[in-house]
Amino acid sequence: MTTRPTAARKNLRHSLSRIVLGTCLALLSAQTLADREGTLNLYLNGGQYWFDKDRLSGTPYFGDELEDSSGGGIGFGYNVTDRWVVEGVYDYFSVNLKDSYEDVTVENYHLDLMYQFAGRFCGNFDWQPYVVVGAGELRVNEDTYGYPYNWHERQTMVNFGAGIKYRLGPRWQLRGDARGFQGVEEGGLDSFLSLAIGYQWGSDPVVYDRDGDGVFSDVDECPQTPPGIDVDFRGCPMDSDGDGVPDYLDQCPTTPMGMAVNEDGCQREPYDPADFAK
């Protein structure tokens, strides 16, 4: 028996798509703590999966719908750089058919490419937002009557999403993830909201100070300060007399406040129209 998706379910899918898109755009300007290159990541996840009404098209259950289901899986990742991560993920669900006593198992395999933002996020280095895209295969297996020839249906899926990690310690992390899975051969858009706990191998995460001035790069307003120069809380060279010329270039470091100065930080000579050398 085929049923139409409820208005609430349509609204949920629409809201999820808007959340994922909005999060992706907002995170483009956010930054937080960076993992080191070469870090390995293992995590376990669990969450709620919403299936598209046509997910069973092309199977012996054509015309039926899968009930939304909870499930989970395991993932393994490798930090190619401090920002880019490659992950392989396996998720498993035991799913009932709507208006039926029959059920199927659904397995979702996918390989993902993740971009992590490094620096501060909400003023805290423990939060690390990310965006992700990937591709893989969803496999639907009959689980009740035993179709002959080990019946199953494989569907190619592409996915996209966004999430955020929270660092519990040097090695442990929590992760919240919102993901959309689009069927290529059959069905439309599935949605998956999950929470995961992960463990990292490798060097401890680092906070970057690329110019070595003691101010983290994500809040450094002068990120290319020359080595050895004293800086203020903004990461910019000190300007003790406030004349706009930093101390390390200022040849007159005690110029009175408000005095007009030249490029060397010294008092500018009054303009004399008769002096063509000025």
pLDDT at 253: 82
**In-domain check, residue 216:** no
pLDDT at 135: 98
pLDDT of 70 > 90? The answer is yes
Using CA atoms, how far residue 13 sits from 22, 123, 178, 240, in Å, is 14, 31, 11, 57
Mind listing the pLDDT tens digit for each residue in 114-172? 999 876 666 667 888 999 999 999 998 875 555 554 455 788 999 999 999 998 887 89
pLDDT of 206 > 80? The answer is no
Q: How far is CA 24 from the centre of its chain?
A: 8
Q: Are 253 and 247 in contact (CB under 8 A)?
A: yes
pLDDT at 173: 92
**In-domain check, residue 254:** no
DSSP single-letter state for residue 118: -
- Residue 152: how many CA atoms within 13 Å on its side-chain side? 11
**In-domain check, residue 179:** yes
Helix (H, G, I), strand (E, B) or coil at 275: coil
pLDDT range class, residue 42, cuts 50, 70, 90: very high
pLDDT at 202: 77
Length of the chain: 278
- Least-confidence region, from 74-78, 137-141, 221-225: 221-225
**In-domain check, residue 262:** no
Question: 176 — phi, psi (to 5°)?
Answer: -110, 135
**In-domain check, residue 225:** no
pLDDT of 64 > 50? The answer is yes
When the pLDDT of each residue in the chain is averaged and rounded to a whole number, the result is 80
Mean pLDDT of 189-194: 96
pLDDT of 2 > 60? The answer is no
- Least-confidence region, from 88-92, 170-174, 254-258: 254-258
Using CA atoms, how far residue 128 sits from 30, 61, 132, 191, 246, in Å, is 9, 42, 13, 22, 35
Q: Extract the tokens encoding 228.
A: 């050895």
Domain count, the chain: 1
Domain span holding position 164: 7-201
Q: Extract the tokens encoding 158.
A: 């592409």
Q: At which residue do the structure tokens 């058919």 appear?
A: 97
Q: Are 140 and 156 in contact (CB under 8 A)?
A: no
pLDDT range class, residue 277, cuts 50, 70, 90: low
Residue in 47, 128, 121, 41 with CA at minimum distance from that of residue 83:
128
**In-domain check, residue 92:** yes
* Residue 28's CATH number: 2.40.160.20
- Least-confidence region, from 164-168, 173-177, 195-199, 270-274: 270-274
Residue in 133, 136, 127 with CA at minimum distance from that of residue 176:
127
pLDDT of 3 > 60? The answer is no
Helix (H, G, I), strand (E, B) or coil at 7: helix
More confident residue, 68 or 206: 68
Q: Are 86 and 112 in contact (CB under 8 A)?
A: yes
Mean pLDDT of 51-66: 81
pLDDT of 1 > 50? The answer is no
**In-domain check, residue 276:** no
**In-domain check, residue 166:** yes
Q: Extract the tokens encoding 195.
A: 């929470």
pLDDT range class, residue 91, cuts 50, 70, 90: very high
240-272: b (≥16 Cβ within 10 Å) or e: ebebebbeeebeebebeeeeebeeebbeeeeee
Q: Extract the tokens encoding 129.
A: 């937002």
Q: Extract the tokens encoding 131.
A: 């965006």
